[in-house]
Amino acid sequence: MPNPSLLLAAAQETARADGPGWLLRTVIIVGFVGVPLLAWFLLRGYGGRD
């Protein structure tokens, strides 16, 4: 895995060029996909199996 400081430097350079739009879009997409998957994973054990 690359050094975290190297990743941060690359992210800052990209943010300077494009702005925060791509990062915000990524966070929103991951949230919309991840929250239902997490809810399904946590709630699947509470099914009607007696």
Taking the C-alpha atoms of residue 13 and residue 32, their distance in angstroms, rounded to an integer, is 27
Q: What is the pLDDT of residue 18?
A: 59
Instruction: Please check whether residue 8 lies inside any domain of the structure.
Output: no
Instruction: Please check whether residue 14 lies inside any domain of the structure.
Output: no
Q: Is the pTM of this model over 0.85?
A: no
Range of the domain at 32: 19-50
Q: What is the pLDDT of residue 24?
A: 85
HSE at residue 16, side-chain half, CA atoms within 13 A, is: 6
Q: What is the pLDDT of residue 37?
A: 92
Instruction: Please check whether residue 12 lies inside any domain of the structure.
Output: no
Convert the pLDDT of each residue in 2-32 to its tens digit.
566 776 777 776 666 556 677 788 889 999 9
- Token pair listed for 46: 């509470």
